[in-house]
């Protein structure tokens, strides 16, 4: 099969490699669509601790089952599936608490121990697979993973009916988190980003107030529009430390701040501002089984809207160019999908 191998930082080569064979309880999937995620850019630069070259990246994907192991009962050939790209051990302390997203021994798709979907075929344990309903296409399937990140973040933040929610960072995760916040009952949504292109998408996803942080001061704009301490929940969906300080200011007393972005470096923040307001600072890391089910459910009713975050659909051969384009943002992009 063909696989796009990250040989060294910033060096991807498409090569002919051995097609993997499914083990006892595994399925072999012919990849049809795979998304490029922010964490892939991180890995592409050689900065992801668990995705070091040489490695085949790609963890947001969907495809067709083309072979099954002898112990696979739940799936058949030609089933269309997506996969949760983390396989928990089920036995460690976090797993026994039900926190499989934080399994001490989890295998990550797109790492050396589980080669990813920037390839023609992927093997996966049947326990990680989710069947796609007939109305969902492969692109929808590839969007389940980032959508589940948003579902989990909104659950972690306990967003409820009538809440005013600020999403700081309107990339794919921020935009999908907005959609989930609205579904959870948020009645007002604020979105901030550096790019008008992303903010226009945030508008389409229901933002009532948008802030371009390169030209507008977030705190004063939000305060002018809604008053002081007016936000119930802020979701930090971009790894910029300044957003934390801004969230401490706009979020109300006893309000919540959800951290979903990846922060690459230790941050310097004025935590006292938050302490005085008794705010909850809540972390959110990937997703659980129930988040995947909710994401699949949301896709059934909102597939057109969710698919609209896809700005680029490109063939497998252009994977390297496309990763570079996303990394350097040489074009306006929200989500790029590779199709096979």
- Contacting positions for Zn ion (CB under 5 A): 37, 60, 88-89, 92, 95, 103
Residue 95 or 186 having the CB closest to Zn ion: 95
Structure tokens at 248: 């401490």
* Least distance (Å) between residue 173 CB and Zn ion: 8
Q: Rounded to the nearest whole angstrom, what is the least distance from the CB of residue 153 to Zn ion in the complex?
A: 13
Return d(Cα 42, Cα 10) in angstroms, integer: 10
Q: CB count, 10 Å around CB of 303?
A: 17
Closest distance to Zn ion from the beta carbon of 230 (Å): 31
Sign of CA dihedral 305, 307, 312, 313: negative
Distance CA 278, CA 280 (A): 7
Q: Which CB atom, from 208 or from 307, has the smaller least distance to Zn ion?
A: 307
Contact 246, 218 (CB under 8 A): yes
Nearest alpha-carbon partner for 196 in 85, 23, 332? 332
DSSP 40: H
Which CB atom, from 89 or from 293, has the smaller least distance to Zn ion?
Answer: 89
Cβ proximity to Zn ion: between 125 and 279 the closer is: 125
CA distance 222 to 91: 46
Query: Smallest gap, in angstroms, from Cβ of residue 106 to Zn ion?
Result: 6
Give the shortest CB-37-to-Zn ion separation in angstroms: 3
Cβ neighbors of 90 (< 8 A, separation 6 or more) are 100, 103
98 or 185, CB closer to Zn ion? 98
| Choice between 95 and 191, CB closer to Zn ion | 95
Residue 259 bridge partners (DSSP): 236, 283
Ramachandran region, residue 58 (left: φ > 0; alpha: ψ -120 to 50; beta: rest):
left
Task: Give the C-alpha separation, 121 to 109, whole Å.
Answer: 12
Q: Least separation, in Å, of the C-beta of 163 and Zn ion?
A: 26
Q: How far is the CB of 236 from Zn ion (least distance, A)?
A: 17
Q: Which is nearer to Zn ion, 43 or 210 (CB)?
A: 43
């Amino acid at each position: 099969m063909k696989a796009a191998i990250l040989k060294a930082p910033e060096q991807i080569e498409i090569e002919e490699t051995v097609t993997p064979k499914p083990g006892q309880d595994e399925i072999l999937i012919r990849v049809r669509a795979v998304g490029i995620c922010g964490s892939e850019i991180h890995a592409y630069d050689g900065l992801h601790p668990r995705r070091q070259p040489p490695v085949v990246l790609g963890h947001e994907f969907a495809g067709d089952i083309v072979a099954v192991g002898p112990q696979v009962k739940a799936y058949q050939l030609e089933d269309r599936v997506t996969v949760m790209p983390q396989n928990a051990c089920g036995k460690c302390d976090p797993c026994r608490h039900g926190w499989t997203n934080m399994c001490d021994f989890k295998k990550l798709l797109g790492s050396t121990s589980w080669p990813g979907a920037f390839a023609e075929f992927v093997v996966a344990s049947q326990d990680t697979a989710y069947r796609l309903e007939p109305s969902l296409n492969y692109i929808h399937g590839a969007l389940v993973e980032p959508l589940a990140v948003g579902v989990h973040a909104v659950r972690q933040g306990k967003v409820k009916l009538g809440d005013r929610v600020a999403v700081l960072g309107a990339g794919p995760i921020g935009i999908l988190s907005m959609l989930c916040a609205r579904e959870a009952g948020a009645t007002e949504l604020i979105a901030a980003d550096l790019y008008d292109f992303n903010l226009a998408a945030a508008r389409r996803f229901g933002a009532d107030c948008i802030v371009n942080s390169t030209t507008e001061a977030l705190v004063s704009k939000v305060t002018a529009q809604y008053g002081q301490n007016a936000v119930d929940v802020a979701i930090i969906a971009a790894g910029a430390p300044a957003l934390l300080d801004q969230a401490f200011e706009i979020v109300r007393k006893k309000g919540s701040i959800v951290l979903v972005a990846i922060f690459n470096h230790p941050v310097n923040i004025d935590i006292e501002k938050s302490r005085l307001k008794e705010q909850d600072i809540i972390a959110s890391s990937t997703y659980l089984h129930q988040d995947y089910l909710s994401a699949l459910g949301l896709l059934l009713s909102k597939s057109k809207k969710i698919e609209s975050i896809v700005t680029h659909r490109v063939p497998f051969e252009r994977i390297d160019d496309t990763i570079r384009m996303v990394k350097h943002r040489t074009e306006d992009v929200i989500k790029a999908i590779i199709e096979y």
